Amino acid sequence: MLTTENPWHVHLGDCIEHMAALPPAVFDMAAFSPPFPKLYAYTSSDRDIGNSEDLKGDAKLHLSFFYRQLVRVMKPGRVVMVHVAQIPRMKRSGGTGLFDYRGMNIRLGERAGLVFEYDWSVRKNPQAQAIRTRSRSLQFAGLENDRAASRGSLPDYLLKFIVPGENAVPIDSDGEVSRNDWIEWAEGCWGDIRENDTLKGDKGKEEARGEGDTQHICPLQLSVIDRLIRLYSNPGELVFSPFAGIGSEGYVAIKRRRRFYGCELKPEYHAAACRNLNTAERVAKVGVQGTLPFDDFDDSPVPLATVPVEPTPLPESEEPKKPTGRKRKAVKP
């Protein structure tokens, strides 16, 4: 729990269940990357949204519950930043083209009551992406074979949502965002983000690999998080990442003297996040003071049956539903 001595907490467990047990309107800002279904599998748990085989079925259903809970725990008038990318359909399972994961998150967020306001794109290096993903659409071989299949690199998107209602405390703290910062950051595409500016080594992903179940984690660039936190929170406020991973959002939040609350399903990532947050506290040196508005809250897992939400009705079901709760092995894109 967050206390005056401890400015952060990461809950080990399913964020959807956990948010349902939190009081309403407790977080000042949220910044996170939802799991990328089909592309990255993080654990073998059927609560892991990364395990959803069926993007328009399971993944959509999980995320619709997720956004409903998120709106409830956020303070009115405050900002939710969601980091997503489009998902290439796997050739080996007969797919072609891209799945519009960006659009699905916007629609589900809006259906849950959030207001979609903007999105930044973050440049990705085409050569590095061609090598990493082995995508023929990007490689010279594809270009020279038949240009009909060629396309550019896939950028990241930072979706900005606002929680409906009046913002009780303006985000106006001094010294966080200068006019010169804003001249750069107001560009619709952030082209200056180093792709390897992520938590790594001691603080990073290698040590967080579980046995057999995890091939990848995709940590968010620290410089992206830094901009978002400085733009959309005041020092001392409470930042939330429901998919905390190895703790990148929390690491920056603490370094920037905010408080942090996270959830993470996978024990190895949870342990890495806690180590990274301890490091951030040491780096920040000055402790962040303040208690949670729910510090007598019971942190034990809540059974799914007690979650008091209605699922968002799914619209058109273009594909027949596959059985839910299927476990699959982690795969490389």
Nearest CB to ligand SAM, comparing residues 154 and 246: 246
Q: Does 161 bind ligand SAM (CB under 6 A)?
A: no
Q: Which of 59, 74, 246, 292 binds ligand SAM (CB under 6 A)?
A: 246
Binders of ligand SAM in range 87-106 (CB under 6 A): none
Nearest CB to ligand SAM, comparing residues 230 and 240: 240
Least distance from C-beta 220 to ligand SAM, angstroms? 4
DSSP labels, 171-219 = ---TTSS-HHHHHHHTSSEE----TT-S--GGGSSGGGPPTTT-S---P
Q: Does 213 bind ligand SAM (CB under 6 A)?
A: no
**Cα–Cα distance between 269 and 264 in angstroms, integer?**
7
DSSP labels, 216-259 = ---PPPHHHHHHHHHHH--TT-EEEESS-TTSHHHHHHHHTT-E
Q: Does 60 bind ligand SAM (CB under 6 A)?
A: no
Q: Does 220 bind ligand SAM (CB under 6 A)?
A: yes
User: Shortest Cβ contact with ligand SAM: which residue?
Assistant: 245
Q: Enumerate residues 6+ apart whose C-beta is below 8 A from 33.
A: 82, 83, 84, 218, 220, 243, 245
Q: Does 266 bind ligand SAM (CB under 6 A)?
A: yes
Nearest CB to ligand SAM, comparing residues 205 and 259: 205
**Beta carbons within 10 angstroms of residue 294's beta carbon:** 15
Q: Are 265 and 208 in contact (CB under 8 A)?
A: no
Q: Does 245 bind ligand SAM (CB under 6 A)?
A: yes
**Amino acid at the residue 315:** P
Least distance from C-beta 62 to ligand SAM, angstroms? 7
Q: Which of 28, 119, 237, 264 binds ligand SAM (CB under 6 A)?
A: 264
**Cα–Cα distance between 185 and 84 in angstroms, integer?**
18
Question: Residue with structure tokens 């390897």?
Answer: 196
Least distance from C-beta 123 to ligand SAM, angstroms? 18
β-partners of residue 116 are 161
Least distance from C-beta 11 to ligand SAM, angstroms? 8
Based on the number of CB atoms within 10 Å of its own CB, is 266 exposed (0-12), middle (13-18) or buried (19 or more)?
Answer: buried
Q: Are 153 and 138 in contact (CB under 8 A)?
A: yes
Q: Does 265 bind ligand SAM (CB under 6 A)?
A: yes
Q: Does 239 bind ligand SAM (CB under 6 A)?
A: no
Q: Does 47 bind ligand SAM (CB under 6 A)?
A: yes
Nearest CB to ligand SAM, comparing residues 7 and 13: 13
Least distance from C-beta 131 to ligand SAM, angstroms? 21
Could you tell me how many residues of this chain bind ligand SAM (CB under 6 A)?
27
Q: Which of 20, 22, 48, 161 binds ligand SAM (CB under 6 A)?
A: 48
Tokens, residue 239: 């930042």
User: Quick check: helix, strand or coil at residue 167?
Assistant: coil
User: Between 7 and 46, how does the x/- string for binding to ligand SAM read (CB under 6 A)?
Assistant: -------xxx---------------xx-x------xx---
Residues that bind ligand SAM (CB under 6 A): 14-16, 32-33, 35, 42-43, 47-50, 217-220, 243, 245-249, 263-266, 269
